[in-house]
Structure 1
Amino acid sequence: MRKGSLYAVAALGALSDVAHAQSSVALYGVVDEGLNYNSNAGGSRLYNLTSGGLQGSRWGLRGREDLGGGLAALFALESGFNASNGKAGQGGLAFGRQALVGLAGDFGTVTLGRQYDALVDSVGAFAAAGQWGTAMSAHAGDIDNFNNSYRANHTVKYRSAAHAGLTFTGTYSLGGVAGDVAANQVWSLGARYGGGPLAFGMAYLNARTPAANAGSLFGNNTSTGTPSAVTSPVYRGFTSANTYQVIGIGAAYAIGAATIGATYSNIRFMHLGAVPGLNAMRYAGTVAFDNAEINVKYQVTPALLLGAAFSYTKGSPVRDTSGASRSGANYLQVAVGADYFLSKRTDVYLAGVHQKASGTDSTGGPAVAAIRALPASNSNRQTMVRVGIRHRF
């Protein structure tokens, strides 16, 4: 009996070691901090230290457990923070960047929770802001969400396994409104291909009442769920829309050490006035924006990367409830950047962005330059220069 018990204990120990080897939990993160120069922050020059340039500062946990038969359980919890003052990001949410759990297998991956939409996954990385350009080089106000300013709550997400370099992604976010399945819902579809020197992607995003109280997209970046997260004059006046819709495509082609990329997006704020409390300008109908970007990056050495990008955002005229029409706003933007890797995990970078605005913006006044993540200018021009350091762990 004594010898049998010893054998049993040894067997259980071996099984425990196997189970441990088949499961993993990893702590990871990014600390990105830099010094900014803003040529016009509400009328004055501004020098300040801010968190998040190439990437938002964050820490997270991700885990995976092998369930056998090719099936695995997984989770991710990711929290953003401000390295300048230690405050939590995303309005103080505990895991405001991501919080998800799901299953993965030969069929692909299914996850549930707070997640990125298919537009971010399939197209966002082709823009300069998703590579070397910093968040400040995102399209005016990140109006197309290519730089993931907003996540979707209550989301079911499917991502296919790769087939000859092609993957498909779909998301559906439940609005949670009794008796109205469409209220506050968000859904998206996307596809991405990567093989050899060519890569491309396309996606569609549709969000209902995106800025309503406890809304489905714009409002959920704050702990209260209110639309105060929308501060950019580029589209702050259009958050009364019943529907926010984006169609995006992107592509990149590598030629030796150089990669040329391009993106296009069409953004529509439809049925303006659907949320009366957010319609101070008494807008009606639909306003549309078209954005195009071309960018190039060059790997000078294994440690040094240089990049440049040009983008143009054109807004359509918008009318109010009286039938009067106002001209739309246009934003021309140029970005340049250099990224030098001191090691595999630590790099220093320099980035510059200049934006010029024209026309009439969403607030009803002359359009002012509004580089993403910066206080808006009080004129039609704004220039930003940032020198930063990023460490990943």
Structure 2
Amino acid sequence: MKRKFAIPILGALSVFAAASAQAQSSVTLYGVIDNGIEFQNAGNGSVVRAISGGLFASRYGFKGSEDIGGGLHVNFQLEEGFSSQTGAVSKAGEAFSRQAWVGLSGGFGEVRIGLQNTPQYIFMNPELDPMAVMTLASPMNNFNSLTIRENNAISYFTPTYYGLKAEFMVAMRDSTTTPSNGFQFYNGALRYENGPFRAAAGYEQAANATGSSILKVFNAGASVRAGAATFFLAYHTEHQTDNSIKRDVYEASADYLFAPADQVALMYGYARDRTGNGNNAQQLGLAYEHYLSKRTTLYAAAGFIQNRNQAAFTLNGTAYAGIQGAPGADARGVTLGIVHKF
């Protein structure tokens, strides 16, 4: 009799222990698949091509968290980008080229160490325009020098105080840089949310791989929601200390949710060359999203860039570069695609 009762009791204890472990630690597999077709002409002839990453970069990854007690959690994320048109990884020879970090979070905020997204990408991009600086329709995507992620990075996220939250990051040099030690990258961003109003500002300083020049970037953006519409204003300035780049970018944009599953965005941007060469440009962009479900979206995006003098801006997708254009030539393009998140 004792043996008969022991088996179900042990089984119940095993289920209880497994449930407790699940509550304390979790790992999630996730991903995004984005495929589409693009037409683009940048002054050197037109192309029609299959694209991956017109709206979101295709990726898969693992993220997890362990509750170690006292309000503390150990967190990690591993993420790899790939072409969902060919299956090829974004960077050959790298198992997780997008993110590979571990960190600790609690009442003090959060610390992350490793390859990770920058404060610019996390805090600034969603505040600059309706597309969060994605698709060829976004002038901020086409005119700006943006650092999306950094190796050897250490970042700190503050808790939220009265709608304010900040992130700070530094990144170390390694054997691929000259010199091979010390700091190479600094980035900080502050975001404020209060009901329908949002604003953010950030500064970035990044040395090139040879240590011969430094890119200095400042961004600011604000938006206000009014019913089904949201209006955005954004400013970007960048300066390469060797004076190869010295540019200001201004953007005004808006989106409108005209049905529960349909949203349209209109964006205008102007890039002002401050080197004295007059290589200015302006862009008009239009994007449309239809939400088939919570996980699947159909999208269309269009962009037109008017380049001046020797300016040669092109229309970049979220995860791929636009075709090389002739200096001073206009660029135009359209993408149609589908995104599924899992």
Q: Distance in 2 between matches of 1:59 and 1:151?
A: 16
2:233 paired residue number? 262
Task: Report the AA paired with residue 34 of structure 1.
Answer: G
- 225, 244, 257: which is aligned to 2:215? 244
- 166, 172, 193: which is aligned to 1:168? 166
2:56 paired residue number? 55
2:325 paired residue number? 377
Aligned-pair CA distance for 1:135:
4.8
2:86 paired residue number? 85
Structure 1 segments of 4+ aligned residues over 6 angstroms from their partners = 5-10, 177-182
Aligned-pair CA distance for 1:132:
8.4
Judged with a 3 Å threshold, the aligned counterparts in structure 2 of structure 1 residues 44 and 128 are, in CA distance, closer, same or farther, namely: same
Q: Distance in 1 between matches of 2:10 and 2:293?
A: 48
Task: Report the AA paired with residue 32 of structure 2.
Answer: V
Contact preservation (8 Å) 1:304, 1:339: yes
Contact preservation (8 Å) 2:252, 2:267: yes
2:65 paired residue number? 64
Judged with a 3 Å threshold, the aligned counterparts in structure 2 of structure 1 residues 385 and 57 are, in CA distance, closer, same or farther, namely: same
Q: Distance in 1 between matches of 2:209 and 2:281?
A: 23
Aligned-pair CA distance for 1:331:
1.7
1:27 paired residue number? 29
Q: Distance in 1 between matches of 2:297 and 2:142?
A: 26
Which digits, 9 at most, give the CA deviation of each residue in 1:18-69, with x for residues without a partner?
12222111111111111101123x6111011100011101111110111011
Q: Distance in 2 between matches of 1:386 and 1:170?
A: 35
Aligned-pair CA distance for 1:81:
0.6
Which digits, 9 at most, give the CA deviation of each residue in 1:71-99, with x for residues without a partner?
00110111111111111114553211111
2:202 paired residue number? 203
1:139 partner SS: helix
Judged with a 3 Å threshold, the aligned counterparts in structure 2 of structure 1 residues 66 and 183 are, in CA distance, closer, same or farther, namely: closer
Judged with a 3 Å threshold, the aligned counterparts in structure 2 of structure 1 residues 39 and 287 are, in CA distance, closer, same or farther, namely: closer
Q: Distance in 1 between matches of 2:98 and 2:136?
A: 15
List alignment gaps of at least 5 residues for structure 2. Answer: none
List alignment gaps of at least 5 residues for structure 1. Answer: 216-240, 273-284, 318-325, 360-365
1:340 paired residue number? 290
- My pick for the range that moved more, 126-135 or 159-168, is 126-135
Q: Distance in 2 between matches of 1:130 and 1:17?
A: 40
Which digits, 9 at most, give the CA deviation of each residue in 1:267-323, with x for residues without a partner?
0101x2xxxxxxxxxxxx564110111110001011000110001111222xxxxxx
Aligned-pair CA distance for 1:336:
0.3
Which digits, 9 at most, give the CA deviation of each residue in 1:218-271, with x for residues without a partner?
xxxxxxxxxxxxxxxxxxxxxxx511110111111000100001111110101x
1:302 and 2:302 aligned: no
Task: Report the AA paired with residue 35 of structure 1.
Answer: I
TM-score of the two chains, using structure 1 as the length reference: 0.78
Contact preservation (8 Å) 2:137, 2:286: no
1:391 paired residue number? 340
Task: Report the AA paired with residue 156 of structure 1.
Answer: I
Task: Report the AA paired with residue 149 of structure 2.
Answer: R
Contact preservation (8 Å) 1:140, 1:313: no
Aligned-pair CA distance for 1:358:
1.1
1:123 partner SS: helix
TM-score of the two chains, using structure 2 as the length reference: 0.89
Aligned-pair CA distance for 1:195:
2.2
1:116 and 2:117 aligned: yes
Task: Report the AA paired with residue 229 of structure 2.
Answer: A
1:367 partner SS: coil
Q: Distance in 2 between matches of 1:390 and 1:166?
A: 32
Q: Distance in 2 between matches of 1:92 and 1:143?
A: 28
Task: Report the AA paired with residue 376 of structure 1.
Answer: Q
Q: Distance in 2 between matches of 1:142 and 1:182?
A: 31
Q: Distance in 2 between matches of 1:43 and 1:58?
A: 31
Aligned-pair CA distance for 1:193:
1.1
Contact preservation (8 Å) 2:262, 2:290: yes
Judged with a 3 Å threshold, the aligned counterparts in structure 2 of structure 1 residues 140 and 74 are, in CA distance, closer, same or farther, namely: closer
Contact preservation (8 Å) 2:247, 2:274: yes
2:269 paired residue number? 311
Judged with a 3 Å threshold, the aligned counterparts in structure 2 of structure 1 residues 357 and 211 are, in CA distance, closer, same or farther, namely: farther
Aligned-pair CA distance for 1:139:
2.8
Task: Report the AA paired with residue 313 of structure 1.
Answer: A
1:87 partner SS: coil
1:125 paired residue number? 126
Q: Distance in 2 between matches of 1:252 and 1:201?
A: 9
- 147, 150, 155: which is aligned to 1:157? 155
Q: Distance in 2 between matches of 1:77 and 1:135?
A: 27
Judged with a 3 Å threshold, the aligned counterparts in structure 2 of structure 1 residues 142 and 203 are, in CA distance, closer, same or farther, namely: same
Judged with a 3 Å threshold, the aligned counterparts in structure 2 of structure 1 residues 132 and 13 are, in CA distance, closer, same or farther, namely: same
